Amino acid sequence: MARAAGVSAKTVSRVVSGESNVAPATRDSVLEAALALQFRPNRLARSLRTGGVTTTIGFVVGDLSNPFYAAVAAGVERELARHGMTMLLAATEDDPAAERTVVGALLAERVRGLLLVPTAPDQSYLEAEQRLGTPVVTVDRPAHGLVADSVVLEDARGAHEATTALIDAGHRDIAFLGTSGTRSTQQHRRDGFRSALADAGLAAQPGHDLLGPYDDGLDAAARDLLAGQDRPTAVLTGDNRASASVVRALGTDLSTVAVVGFDDFELADALGISVVAYDAAAMGRQAARCLLDRLGVPADDAETELADVPPRTVLVPTRLERRGSLASTSTP
Amino acid sequence: MARAAGVSAKTVSRVVSGESNVAPATRDSVLEAALALQFRPNRLARSLRTGGVTTTIGFVVGDLSNPFYAAVAAGVERELARHGMTMLLAATEDDPAAERTVVGALLAERVRGLLLVPTAPDQSYLEAEQRLGTPVVTVDRPAHGLVADSVVLEDARGAHEATTALIDAGHRDIAFLGTSGTRSTQQHRRDGFRSALADAGLAAQPGHDLLGPYDDGLDAAARDLLAGQDRPTAVLTGDNRASASVVRALGTDLSTVAVVGFDDFELADALGISVVAYDAAAMGRQAARCLLDRLGVPADDAETELADVPPRTVLVPTRLERRGSLASTSTP
DNA sequence: TTGTAGGCGTTATCAC
DNA sequence: GTGATAACGCCTACAA
């Protein structure tokens, strides 16, 4: 390519890198030749020379077909693209044993940073990598055995607020249906549920405080909870999957039990179901921003240098979206 | 690293590349040193040396927060991961003008192949790249101005089948609500709708054959369609966004108008809404497989060499998921 | 303003 | 079975 333009490789490099000290005439002829030869600078070679500094970041997600993670990924992609970086996406299929392999594959691609939804019980294996200069930010859940930035929801506060709203609406027998006792988010949401009950001098009825883990049995658990004689007058779900199961269990007859879902979901508004909502895409954007801060890529409204601040935990706020479902015909 | 193991760089290369002609003893000491030093082979350097052959493929999608595209992406990722490849994901935000830039960014990363949901009106700009050896497969829609493999739904057939089912249920005034006249999928679905009506000697009533494009006005369009005096007795939607708008327009009073949605969606079963369903993840898997075929990566059940077959169009089947909504109280 | 030398980590080639 | 050498395409450093 360089020879085709009648200049040295270095001059081509200068042109494509946008360096200033090139004669306009030279620049033009180089650009012309580049166009003719379909020349595209090789970012791989550049990364190699500059010491493995790539423009890709890795995002390890559990299951992309979950709308929540998809929305987070959309936010990540968007924020990265704004800074000329791209997202290498890998999924663990929610298999804890797969996490390390998947992370390894991304690191072998020399990603410049790592975003991770932790699935494995322990992330200490990342410590060495972190020290070698690859920043790690966890999303949705904090890491275990690793000090890292994390972007998480106000799980407990959101659940507390929702539960309190149900209590204020007159409910006394409120149930919680979580999906997985091994997930810290589900635990925190139940904690918020319990503390709100306790604050009102109440407690969950036996069998009305469920945390799973349910794999395929979620629909059945919802049916059991809502079909019995002693069914609760209100339910708070642990996530959008649980919300879907509750709707399936109740059919379209949503007026008999008050429902608040954790996670907003499509049609929740049409069905009049109250939800604990938040901006999932913003979560992704904030996580990406955390990583970019560590990499020294300034934000648009750049003020201070954030590459060396101590590990941060960014709390993403939730808001209770009040819809018809807060009350119900069986309200006492 | 090589020196630490007391061998040459080439021997390390042989070990990590899994070549056979290495003494077991040597191999062990190399692996031991690699473990101790946190050694990770640099795929960038490898790609450089081997001529730009990377293990990443690029997937250009419109909007990841659409559950359909997210599911396709999940399928792509999964199939690629099975063969040790990773997915570089970029989004056009459904902006036709952004497509070329986004594709360019992926090509600069030297992706080995390209999966693309076409958004721009023309993809001929990819022809040179294709000839240079980067295979291109389009997903959901065929390319314009470019001969490439594509994986698409049986849009017309699916819509035809759904419409016929509504006719068979006794409906005569059936409406179609599509979201975008500039999308070939929406056009094909309406074509299927119209041909089914024609086959029965019917035609859509004025204003009951809508194709958009609606950006923010989709909810309003659904309300207008379903609120009037001359509202149809049945509706076929063009996609999941239109289905959501229809449900919002009808509220939970879904019994007054029969609805069939194109695209399955969460809770469609709970709401008793019939849908034209298909396996979106399988679509992604098939698209990835097309690309891998072109790259000479054999399938598990490898039979023939598919790298050089003429461009294929893979049709992904749809199936009508019959639920309560096929009939309605206003059925004639 | 432009060019030359050298090397990033890997692998192909050809020796030993 | 193993190693020395060169080269992939680019950039840093230093000349010219």
DSSP state letter for B125: G
Residue B223 vs residues B13, B210, B235, B245: alpha-carbon distances, Å: 65, 13, 12, 8
Tokens of A228: 């019995």
pLDDT tens per residue across span A211-257: 989 988 999 999 999 988 899 999 999 999 999 999 999 987 788 89
Phi then psi dihedrals of residue B329, to 5 deg: -65, -20
Count of residues in chain B: 332
Q: Is B98 on the interface with A (CB under 8 A)?
A: no
Ranges of chain B whose pLDDT falls below 50: 329-332
CA distance A143 to B200: 61
Contact check, Cβ <8 Å, B266/A56: no
Contact check, Cβ <8 Å, A48/B48: yes
Contact check, Cβ <8 Å, A81/B65: no
How many H helices and E strands in chain B?
12, 12
Contact A166, A198 (CB under 8 A): no
pLDDT, position B53: 83
Record the pTM. Answer: 0.93
* pLDDT of A177 over the 70 cut: yes
pLDDT, position B328: 57
Q: How many CA atoms lie within 13 A of B275 on its CB side?
A: 24
* pLDDT of A282 over the 80 cut: yes
Q: Among A42, A67, A78, select the one facing B110 at the smallest CB separation.
A: A42
Average pLDDT value over all residues in chain A: 92
CA-to-C1' span, B229 to D9 (A):
69
Per-residue burial over B27-48, b if 16 or more Cβ lie within 10 Å, else e, is bebbeebbeeeebeebbbebbb
- Please give, chain by chain, protein residues whose CB is below 7 Å from any atom of strand C: A 7-11, 14, 21-23, 25-27, 45, 48-49, 51-52; B 1, 9-10, 12-13, 16-17, 40-42, 45-46, 48-50
pLDDT, position A153: 98
* Chain A residues lying within 8 Å of B106, measured CB to CB: 86
* pLDDT of A185 over the 50 cut: yes
Nearest-CA residue of chain B relative to A251?
A: B270
CA distance B182 to B62: 14
How many H helices and E strands in chain A?
11, 12
Contact A176, A210 (CB under 8 A): yes
> Nearest CA to CA, how far is B55 from chain A (Å)?
9
Contact B192, B155 (CB under 8 A): yes
A88 Rama sector, left if φ>0, alpha if ψ -120 to 50, beta otherwise: beta
User: Which residues have CB under 8 Å from B275's CB, separation 6+?
Assistant: B243, B260, B261, B262, B263, B264, B265, B268, B320, B321, B323
CA distance A275 to B158: 34
Q: Is B47 on the interface with A (CB under 8 A)?
A: yes
pLDDT tens per residue across span A37-60: 888 888 889 999 988 788 999 999
pLDDT, position B303: 66
* Chain A residues lying within 8 Å of B242, measured CB to CB: none
The residue-averaged pLDDT of A158-167 equals: 98
Provide the pLDDT confidence category of residue A303 given band limits of 50, 70 and 90. low
Tokens of A127: 């410590």
Provide the pLDDT confidence category of residue A329 given band limits of 50, 70 and 90. very low
Tokens of B177: 């609500």
pLDDT, position B331: 47
Contact check, Cβ <8 Å, A93/B87: no
CA distance A119 to A93: 9
